[in-house]
Every structure is written in structure tokens, then in C-alpha cells.
Homo-oligomer: A and B are copies of this chain.
Amino acid sequence: MNVYGKHYRTIWVKEDDPAVIRIIDQRPLPHQFVIEDLTTVDDVARAIKDMHVRGAGLIGAAAGYGMYLAARHAPQSSAAFTEALLAAGETLQATRPTAVNLEWAVQRQLTAIAGAGDDVGAKIEAAFSAAQAIADEDAEFCRRIGEHGVSLLEEISKRKGGKAVNILTHCNAGWLAFVDYGTATAPVYVAHNRGIKVHVWVDETRPRNQGARLTAWELGRHGVPHTVIVDNAGGHLMQHGLVDMVITGTDRTLYTGDVANKIGTYLKALAAKDNGIPFYVALPSSTFDWNLRDGVAEIPIEQRDAAEVKTIAGLRDGAIKSVLLTPPDSPAANYAFDVTPARLVTALITERGICPATEAGVLGLYPEKRPA
């Protein structure tokens, strides 16, 4: 997508130096646009853990590049090389426990590297190619999600006689959460580009305000009409007919249809159900978990530092500053995700098309995943 007139992905290899991976550091957005260089797997792990990069697809792509950087710096002997890469994979997977794309990218890299023969140079080549392929595929899958999902917006637009389609979204499942295009936002961008009137209600998404900071910023840069709301407001808007559809992303989707996404998604799904509003989840297949069956019982939910709840950063006098919101002695809890049961999800929007959030629906689109 374009930033101030220039096309960017969220992660890329430095043009004249393949030893350097570049990212947009998302922490100072929307106030400052900062590009950061990463040269080691530890740089990448820290960037994921401390959320310089975040979002299902992007942390998968970052993990892919992280494995490539690990390969570049690994010992040359075959056994030690393999050991170093396994350790790098564990480090990357441990950064964010709920996100399934990390494990997926690491396993894909380990398979690619193992398949490249014994020569370390060939292994590094293979890791580079796999990292690029993961990133390219993420961008391409998001593009297709937009192509499939736009039909839902077109239908509502027709029903409303061309009046703006009101989409509510939670967190940032935009191009900043992936390599390009985004998932939840992809159908919105396609619709907007085709001249369909849209308006996005952007949940601010406490505690880290990915909506107020990132979704609002990227929609604004692309000229998409939007309004920032507090996370508390969605139910009221739905009760009063001000929301036509909800689209969110997901950090892990079970093949049974249960969806782990940013904390608070479940509340919006309940409100959508209570008001007869369709609730869609958009995802590339890299976000599917093909093992677990019961989301609430089985998906591990990351708990983060209480400081993310007790303090918040924003712009003041041209600089980003943090302020304390609570009494200093009050404890705070910080659960990063919640699980929306499949029964509340109208459908999943994937790179292969739209399907019901059920085992039959998902396996219908991904028949190769059917148990033998």
C-alpha cells in the first residue's frame, strides 16, 4: 500500500544489502513513520515480542525472515547449523503464544532448509527463498481475500441503494498486520477502489490501540471514510442500525470455526448476533490451526505486561509521551486475545473464497486437510 505516495510493504529485504531486513516500526504510528533495520534472529524476536511488528500475517513473515537471518549467522558445521536453526525457531515461536502463524512459518522454514541438502550456502539460499515466498504468498492471499470479500459489500451497497456500507472492525487486520493489503480491510479497500461508498467504524482496541493508531492511520492515508470509536460503542451503534456488517481478522482460527482474535472481539460478535448483523472473519489459510477443536478450552491466551493497561502513549508537543491512567497502586490484568465461538461467526473469508465457520465449511474449501 502507499504511504505518502510511495509503495511500502510492512517488511522487506534492504535493496542493496541482503543481510538487512527492514520493517516499519509500528509503535510510534500514527505520530511518526520510522523504518527499522533487523540483522539477527534476536532482533526479529524482540521486534515481534515488543510489537514493533504485529498482526497474524506479518509476524509469520517476520518469523520467516528471522529464520533466514538465523541461517546467515549459524555455525557452518551441519549438526551445529541444524541445532542453531531449531533453537532460533523455538525463540521465535515463544514470542507470542496465541498466534499460529509463527509456528507455521518456522516449520515451513525448517522443512525448506532440511530439503536443501548438506551445503550451508544452499541452506541459506533456501531460507532466503522460503522467507520471500512466505511474504509474497501472504500479500497474494490478502489480495484474493479482498477479491472474494468485496462481493459481500457490493450486495449490501445494492440493498442500500448505494448509500455508504457501514463496516465495524476491531483491532488492526489491515495491511500493517500483514505484508500488504490486510485481511479485514482488504474487501474494504477493493470496494473503495471500485467506487462503492464505504464507512468504517474503527474500534480503538485497548490496551494497545491498534485501531485508533494503525487502522485509522492506514484508512486515512488511503482516503477511506472512517470514524474512531471506543471499544464500548459498537453495541449501541448496532442497536441503532448504524452497522451493516462486522469484519475482523484473527490470530488463530480452528478448523471447527472458533476464532482467537484481539481481546474484545467476542463482545462484538455477541452484539452482532443480538442485532442480526453479519459477523465475518477474514484470514489467509496460514492462520488456520488444523489440530485443536475447542477454542475457548484449548487456545492459549497470551497475558502481557500490566503497564500496557495502566499507562498509554500519545503525542504531546511533537513527541510521543506516556501517561499513567490508574492509581499507581492498583493492579491490572492484560489478556491479549479472546475466543469467539464458531456459533457467532457468520462466515470466514479466505484466499480460496467464503465458507461457513464450521468443520464442513472449512474442509470444503481445504479438502487436502481432510483426515485420511
Contacts and interface: CB of A to CB of B under 8 A. Distances in A.
Nearest to A324: B315
Interface string A199-213: 001101111010011
Contacts of A230: 206-207, 231, 263-264, 309, 334
A8 interface: no
A176 B97 CA distance: 40
A309 B228 contact: yes
Interface stretch (A63-71, A138-146, A232-240, A356-364): A232-240
A316 B326 contact: no
Interface string A256-283: 0000001110111011001000000000
B235 A270 contact: yes
Given A266-B236, A309-B230, A338-B239, A323 B330 contact: no
Interface string A306-318: 0001111111100
Given A314-B323, A325-B212, A327-B30, A229 B338 contact: no
A232 B267 contact: yes
A213 to B, nearest CB: 7
A217 B239 CA distance: 33
Nearest to A234: B267
So how many copies of this chain end up in the complex?
A: 2
A191 B172 CA distance: 42
A31 interface: yes
Contact of A311 (B266, B271, B314, B329): B314
A230 to B, nearest CB: 4
Contacts of A311: 314
Given A204-B206, A236-B335, A314-B312, A226 B324 contact: no
A315 B329 CA distance: 14
A190 interface: no
A325 B233 contact: no
Contact of A271 (B240, B266, B296, B321): B266
Contacts of A330: 202, 212, 216-217, 219-220, 226-228
16 contacts: A201-B333, A207-B230, A213-B326, A227-B333, A228-B326, A229-B333, A230-B309, A232-B264, A236-B266, A239-B266, A240-B296, A266-B271, A267-B267, A270-B271, A315-B324, A316-B324
